[in-house]
Amino acid sequence: MKLKRLLSGIKPTGELHIGHYIGAIKRFIEMQKDYESFVFVADLHSLTVNPNPKEIRENTRKIVELYIACGLDPKHTILFNQSENIYHTALSWALTCHSYMGELSRMTQYKDKSDGQKNESINCGLFNYPVLMAADILIYDTDVVPVGDDQKQHVELTRTLAERFNNRYGKTFKVPKPVIAKKGARIMDLQTPTKKMSKSDENKKGVINLLEDLEVARKKIMSAVTDSESIIKYDEKNKPGISNLMTIYACLTNKEIKEIEEDFKDSSYKDFKEKVADEVVILLKDIQKKYNEIKTDYIDNILNEGLIKVKEISKNKVLEVYKKLGLGRY
């Protein structure tokens, strides 16, 4: 039986944190054996926010190393770097010319990120970003796209663009589905638990990076902001801090929230935080051990192999699209 295709990626801006792990990487790992998996580093997307060449280059390699250290297995997952496969941008232009200014300007992430910047200085890539993301997905006839909930709207736009193109030119693209976890799709900042944990955050006390010093990570959990009620009960609205810690704990131990409420019904916040910190430290320790053992050549070989496979598939899709659009002499 032919496996369905999974695709997802992460931008190489800033450090990867436990939100990326829980909301995205952990899902890729759980799903990789049941799908034909494609996971990449979205380096072209990082140009929209922080065009710092040295940082992009270093972070791109680091992300691939972390993918592997976290448990992505090149036997099951094709790993590659987005910009090395030139066909993504070739499809992106064709899709740009089928996207509307109105729909792109309604994207929440665009509105958030452009907010505070004067219109004059907003990079056009930030506006067009979801179209490139749609190209990343549609170029491989992807079935499922596991992402955190901030990316759901972009996958929905991808579906709209695929349907629009198919209606105009005949069936060309598979219409993909976003896969969003029931828990862990939005890990919150430890200091401001009403806000998503984010790599661009100024207050580093609220974010735990995957390569964080273990003692620092423990302290960050212990000093996470909670309420004064001291009852371990899941209530996102009224108790966002403790609910976030419960989500992290639930995802790392594969326990249900109800079970956690029951297990910790007589515990203090301090005791519970210690248990959460233990789980986070176990995770980071394991990832960091594997990360430190990875050799550069190994990464290059994996990326080279991945690139050969993805180029072949995506070239055919771009030619099909160009032909339908009357472009070139195909």
Quick check: 64 binds ligand TYM (CB under 6 A)? Answer: no
Interface residue with ligand TYM among 37, 59, 92, 151 (CB under 6 A) is 151
204 is an active site residue: no
Other Cβ atoms closer than 10 A to 243: 21
Total residues contacting ligand TYM by CB under 6 A comes to 25
At its nearest, how many Å lie between ligand TYM and the CB of residue 121?
Answer: 20
Please indicate whether residue 62 is annotated as part of the active site.
no
Cβ 25 to ligand TYM, closest distance in Å?
8
Among 5, 11, 159, 218, the residue binding ligand TYM under the rule CB under 6 A is 11
**For 281, how many CA atoms within 13 A lie in the half-sphere containing its CB?**
16
Which residues between 260 and 319 bind ligand TYM (CB under 6 A)?
A: none
Take residue 276 and report the two structure tokens written for it: 């959460």
The DSSP letter of residue 196 is B
Exposed, middle or buried, 53 (CB in 10 Å: 0-12/13-18/19+)? exposed
Q: How far is the CB of 46 from ligand TYM (least distance, A)?
A: 8
Could you give the strand order of the β-sheet that contains 77-81, starting from the edge strand earlier in sequence? 77-81, 36-41, 5-10, 144-146, 177-179
Q: Nearest distance from residue 41's CB to ligand TYM, in Å? A: 9
Q: Return d(Cα 282, Cα 291) in angstroms, integer.
A: 14
The answer to whether 4 is a known catalytic residue is: no
Rule CB under 6 A: is residue 78 a binding residue for ligand TYM?
A: no
Pairing of strands 144-146, 77-81: unpaired
Tell me how far, at minimum, the Cβ of 7 lies from ligand TYM, in Å. 6
Nearer to ligand TYM by Cβ, of 251 and 299: the residue is 251
Nearest to 107 by CA among 92, 132, 126, 122: 126
Helix, strand or coil for residue 152? helix
* The binder of ligand TYM chosen from 150, 261, 274, 279 (CB under 6 A): 150
Interacting positions 21-40 with ligand TYM (CB under 6 A): 22-24
> How far is 79 from 97, CA to CA, in rounded Å?
29
Residue 240 near ligand TYM by CB under 6 A: no
Q: Which two tokens stand for residue 99?
A: 């996207």
Residue with tokens 């663009």, as numbered in its chain = 161
The answer to the question of residue 95 lying near ligand TYM (CB under 6 A) is no
171-200 footprint of ligand TYM as x/- string (CB under 6 A)? --------------xxx--------xx---
Please choose, out of 50-58, 145-153, 220-228, 269-277, the segment that lies near ligand TYM by the rule CB under 6 A. 145-153
CB of 23 to ligand TYM, least distance (A): 2
Instruction: Kindly name the residue from 152, 183, 195, 196 that is annotated as catalytic.
Output: 196
Cα–Cα distance measured from residue 232 to residue 133, given in angstroms and rounded to the nearest whole number = 39
Task: Check if the beta carbon of residue 221 is closer than 8 Å to that of residue 187.
Answer: no
Cα atoms in the 13 Å half-sphere on the side-chain side of 300: 3
Could you give the residue numbers annotated as active site? Answer: 113, 196, 199
Provide the binding-site residues for ligand TYM, judged by CB under 6 A.
Answer: 7-11, 19-20, 22-24, 42, 45, 133, 136-137, 145, 147-148, 150-151, 185-187, 196-197
